[in-house]
Chains A and B, each alone.
Chain A
Amino acid sequence: MRSNFRHGSAAPVFWAGLVSASVTGLYYYWFAVADRYAIFLYNHLGGRPFDETTTSRYWMSGLVASGAVMVGYLVLNWYAARISALFRRQYRPPDWRQVWLYSALPISIGVFTITTTLNHPTLPPILAIQCLGILLVGLAFALWPGSIAALQPARLAWMVIISAGLLPPLLLLRVIELPSVGTVSQGTALAIAVTTNAAGIVWSAGAGWLSVRIAGQQFSAGELAASAVCTGYLGLSLLHHLFLTPPDFRYITSTANFFALTWEMQLASWAAVAGLAFFIHHIQTLFGGGYQ
């Protein structure tokens, strides 16, 4: 992901400490303190602690935690920049790669220890490592837009608006495989996939054109795709956890709400996102006359 900013001195170790403490605290709550029957929905529809659905909830905890870090990190960086400017000082956000690197080790030790030793049942080491891997990938996406929020919030807003059009291929193209499990009919699935994806193409192309014409904001395909991942996988899984669950059961979603049932369909979704991101970038280049 291309970075346009001069990264500076805003102590990446401080931010890494904050991120590490937040993530390990969250995992400690989910795995050691909270009711597993509520957080991971043990017993719901016959769910067992290590069946396929519940295992996928453990995986998704990494994306939900990353979503929480992303929201907090964006808001804090935005405030840090605004408050610095208020007193006519310049805020230089830390390089997200440094923050990620410094927080990776404490988070790895903390999350692995918590998930494999606390409460009952503990996760088998291989499952804990899988969860950790997903968490670390999610955190990279969560930290990446922090400097944009601090230095160019309007650019971040345009990026989110444009990449909203990439969410249908990311999250809804996969509905065409749902008739195979009897969730929806063939006709309904096809209608949902076609209409939402067509709307997504029109939306992102229109917003991409507007952003380059009105605000002079042009984005690389990588930035748009990464933004869609941040919104679709991190933001929406957090939104699901906080707002789309009943009050007594603030549970973590299963992968079935976000990912395809088969690898072929999943790869097709990601390819569609990449293709659309390149298309939008091409439109912006055509109408904007060069990268800014």
Chain B
Amino acid sequence: MNKGELLHLVVGTILIVLFFIAFESIFSSTQASTYKGYLYQLDLYADHHSASSHNVYLPAVFR
């Protein structure tokens, strides 16, 4: 077994996982909070899950 390649494989895998975690934590949480903030503003947060999906409660910034 080539130990140098094993190191490449492990380091590469860690970098790939960290890359996705970073995007997920930075961007998704920002978007989720923007969205939740908007629902609160409309007083819709409590019941938006039960609302029809045909009512799209999204701020205009989402395009």
B32, A246: Cβ atoms closer than 8 Å? yes
Residues of chain A from 186 to 241 with CB closer than 8 A to chain B in the complex: 239
Shortest beta-carbon distance from A266 to chain B in Å? 18
Asked if A243 contacts B24 (CB within 8 A), the reply is yes
Write out, one digit per residue, whether chain B residues 1-12 have a CB within 8 A of any chain A CB (1) or not (0): 110011011001
Give the contacting residue for A251; candidates B53, B55, B62; CB below 8 A.
B62
Is A42 within 8 A of B56, CB to CB? yes
Chain B min CB distance to A203 (Å) = 20
By a CB distance below 8 angstroms, the chain A residues around B8 are 82, 85
Task: Please give me the residue from chain B that is nearest to A45 by CB atom.
Answer: B60
- Could you say which of A35, A53, A85 contacts B2, with CB atoms under 8 Å apart? A85
Provide the bound-state CA to CA distance between A39 and B9, in Å.
36
Given contacts A37-B56, A82-B8, A253 and B63 within 8 Å (CB-CB): yes
A182 at the interface (CB under 8 A from B): no
Q: Is the CB of B58 within 8 A of A246?
A: yes
Q: Hey, which chain B residues are within 8 Å of A239, CB to CB?
A: 23, 27
Interface residues of B, dominant DSSP: helix
Which residues from 11 to 32 on chain B have a C-beta closer than 8 Å to any C-beta of chain A? 12, 16, 23-24, 26-28, 31-32
A247's partner among B5, B32, B63 (CB-CB below 8 A) is: B32
Total residues of chain A contacting the partner, CB 8 A = 33
Residue in contact with A243 in the complex, picked from B6, B23, B56, CB distance below 8 Å:
B23
Contacts of A256 in B (CB 8 A): 63
Query: How many chain B residues touch the partner (CB < 8 A)?
Result: 26
Please state if A43 and B2 are interface contacts (CB–CB under 8 Å).
no
Assembly CA distance A52 to B4 (angstroms) = 53
Cβ of A245 under 8 Å from chain B: yes
Also in contact, A245 and B12, with CB within 8 A (given A82-B5, A85-B5, A86-B6): no
The answer to whether B54 and A246 touch across the interface, beta carbons within 8 angstroms, is: no
- B27 CB to nearest A CB, Å: 4
Question: In the complex, what residues of A have CB within 8 A of residue B62's CB?
Answer: 41, 44, 245-246, 249, 251
Point out residues on A near B: beta carbons under 8 Å: 35, 37-38, 41-45, 53, 75, 78-79, 82-83, 85-88, 153, 239, 242-249, 251, 253-254, 256-257
Known: A85-B5, A243-B28, A248-B35. 4 other contacts (CB 8 A): A78-B12, A79-B9, A239-B27, A254-B63
Q: Return 28 A-B CB contacts under 8 Å, by A number.
A: A44-B56, A45-B60, A45-B63, A79-B9, A82-B5, A83-B9, A85-B5, A85-B8, A86-B1, A86-B2, A86-B5, A87-B2, A153-B12, A242-B23, A242-B28, A243-B27, A245-B31, A245-B62, A246-B35, A246-B58, A247-B28, A247-B35, A248-B48, A249-B56, A249-B58, A253-B63, A254-B63, A257-B63
Q: Which residues does B use to contact A, with CB under 8 Å?
A: 1-2, 5-6, 8-9, 12, 16, 23-24, 26-28, 31-32, 34-35, 48, 53-56, 58, 60, 62-63
